[in-house]
Amino acid sequence: MRSALIALTLPMVLAFSVAVAAQEAGQIKVSKGSAQIERSGKKLPATVGQVVHQGDVVVTGADGSVGITFRDSSLLSVGPDSVLAIDRFVFDSTTHQGSFDSSLKQGTLAVVSGKLAKQSPEAMKVKTPAAILGVRGTEFLVRTSPAKD
Amino acid sequence: MFAPARRKTDSRPARARNLVWLAPLALTALVGCATRNDLYVLLPGKDGKTGALIVESEGKKQTLDTPYAAARVKNVGSVEGIKSSAAEVKQDFGPALQAQPKRPVSFYLYFLADTDEFAPESKALVNKIFAEIARRPAPEIAIIGHSDRVGTVPYNDALSLRRAERCRDELLKLGIPKVRISIAGRGWREPEIPTAQDVSEPRNRRVEISVR
């Protein structure tokens, strides 16, 4: 019985994870200085036109900055010495339901929220090592770093 | 190193020795010495509307809902409400703001009732759409079909998607690469003019072409 259940659900789970992995979350529109995308342990150059997926981490150097437009029209851009993880991006283009979670581990981030946040106040969250942000719309800025000695 | 021989030289009880290590931490908490340099700022919206941002650190919350309202987190669990300004924001966030992608721009094409045929005035818009596409790095075109409220939800979802497909086919004919285009049908979920059920409304029979 149990093995039958596993046999039944496993292909569904696999099919689902493949669909999620393949889904495009957004595209890089602006890239300056040193900037990379970390994906499954690999480092890719963060060039204009590069597709960004759920699970990617955007990393900029001391002279770097990157701007990304997401499928729900959210705009996220990071300044120098920043690390931004795209933890989750799910967007249904018919209903506008889904969720968008990202974490700024360090550095600076500018956000213009898009259709997900407009559809549901719970849909978009931004985390930092010290705080969690509930996004009720539109434009804001985030800086997170340890205090200087 | 924890051999009895060493303990003999230290006359303090074990508990006191452990507390010595905690003293600098306790002092830090007392004088409020910052461990973080976090700043969160709500900006006025470009469309004139300012949204809201809730900043929460270990249960402590601040709601920012006026232009340049800001919150500082110097230690986890404390959120201090402050006020920033256009000048300070430029100073603190200049490169991130400069890297913001261009905002998406939308164009609207209208359709004859219950069809995927363009209303005549919509044809002239195509040139404008092309100019917008040419201005952007790595342009993407999201084509979003809409319908009025005549008929059922599934019928209108399908009709709105058909309208989006019709627009996509026109743009493909004009040479825009297929990979740059995405399509969606929103049915009647996003009316330009809200109406009751079964009202025929030409302005809701439209396709939005969002260039981003």
B75-89: average pLDDT: 96
CB A54 within 8 A of CB A19: no
User: How high does pLDDT run on average in chain B?
Assistant: 85
E strand segments, chain A = 24-32, 35-39, 42-45, 51-53, 57-60, 65-70, 75-78, 83-91, 98-112, 124-127, 132-135, 139-144
Residue A125: predicted pLDDT: 97
Is B150 part of any domain?
yes
**B114 and B51 housed in the same domain:** no
Q: How far apart are CA A135 and CA A41, in angstroms?
A: 30
Instruction: Tell me the pLDDT tens digit for each residue of B8-67.
Output: 444 455 555 555 555 555 544 545 578 999 999 999 998 888 999 999 999 999 999 999
Rounded Cα–Cα distance for residues B48 and B153 (Å): 34
Residue B161 has pLDDT above 80, yes or no: yes
Closest CA to B143 of B133, B131, B151, B154: B133
Partner-chain residue, chosen from B64, B184, B212, that has the shortest CB–CB distance to A93:
B184
The predicted model gives B135-164 an average pLDDT of 94
Lowest-confidence pick of A5-19, A21-35, A73-87, B165-179 = A5-19
Average confidence (pLDDT) over A122-142: 95
Indicate whether B163 and B85 sit together in one domain: no
Q: Please indicate, yes or no, whether residues B73 and B136 belong to a single structural domain of this protein.
A: no
Q: Distance of CA A71 to CAs A54, A89, A120, B131, B208, Å?
A: 12, 9, 16, 22, 15
Would an 8 Å CB–CB cutoff place A51 in contact with chain B?
no
The CATH number of A24-144 is 2.60.120
Report the percent of chain A where pLDDT is more than 90: 81
In a domain, B6, yes or no: no
Distance of alpha carbon B209 from alpha carbon B212, whole angstroms: 10
- Does residue A71 have a pLDDT over 60? yes
Indicate the pLDDT class of residue B159, thresholds 50, 70 and 90.
very high
Instruction: Write down the pLDDT at residue B49.
Output: 87
Residue B144 lies in a domain: yes
Same domain, B49 and B89: yes
**For the residues B112-122, what does the mean pLDDT come to?**
73
Looking at residue B24, its pLDDT comes to 52
**Alpha-carbon separation of residue B159 from B27, B46, B115, B183, B187 (angstroms):** 68, 33, 8, 13, 7
Query: Tell me, what's the pLDDT at B33?
Result: 78
Q: Are residues B92 and B123 in the same domain?
A: no
Q: How many CA atoms lie within 13 A of B26 on its CB side?
A: 5
- 8 Å CB contact of B103 and A32: no
B175: left (phi over 0), alpha (psi -120 to 50) or beta: left
Residue A78 has pLDDT above 80, yes or no: yes
Asked if residue B115 belongs to a domain, the reply is yes
- Identify the domain boundary among B61, B82, B98: B98
pLDDT of residue B198: 92
What pLDDT shows up at residue B19? 55
Q: Tell whether B3 is covered by a domain.
A: no
**Are B126 and B156 within one domain?**
yes
What pLDDT does B47 receive? 81
- Lowest mean pLDDT across A46-50, A88-92, B23-27, B51-55: B23-27
* pLDDT in the model for residue B32: 59
Torsion of CA B153, A72, A100, A64, to 10 degrees: 170
* Domains in chain B, number: 2
| Mutate: best of A24, A48, A50, A69, partner B, most B CBs <10 A | A69
Last residue of a domain, one of B76, B98, B120: B98
Question: Do B134 and B167 reside in the same domain of the chain?
Answer: yes
Q: Does B119 lie at the interface with A, CB-CB under 8 angstroms?
A: no
Q: What ranges in chain B are assigned the alpha helix state H?
A: 4-7, 14-31, 86-98, 125-134, 153-173
Nearest to B38 among A69, A138, A144 (CB): A144
Give residue B171's domain range: 105-211
Q: Do B122 and B191 belong together in one domain?
A: yes
Vertex A90, ends A81 and B203: CA angle to 5°?
115
Is residue B177 in a domain?
A: yes
Average pLDDT of A71-88? 97
Chain B: closest CA distance from residue A59 (Å)? 13
Q: Do B146 and B92 lie in a common domain?
A: no
Confidence band for B148, pLDDT divided at 50, 70 and 90: very high
The answer to whether position B14 is within a domain reads no
pLDDT of residue B135: 92
User: Which CATH number covers residue B116?
Assistant: 3.30.1330.60
Contact check, Cβ <8 Å, B52/A137: yes
Q: Look at residue A16 and tell me whether its pLDDT is greater than 50.
A: no
Residues B72-95 have a mean pLDDT of: 96
Do B87 and B174 lie in a common domain?
A: no
Domain ranges of chain A: 24-144
Claim to verify: residue B90 and residue B127 sit in the same structural domain: no
Are both B112 and B94 inside the same structural domain? no
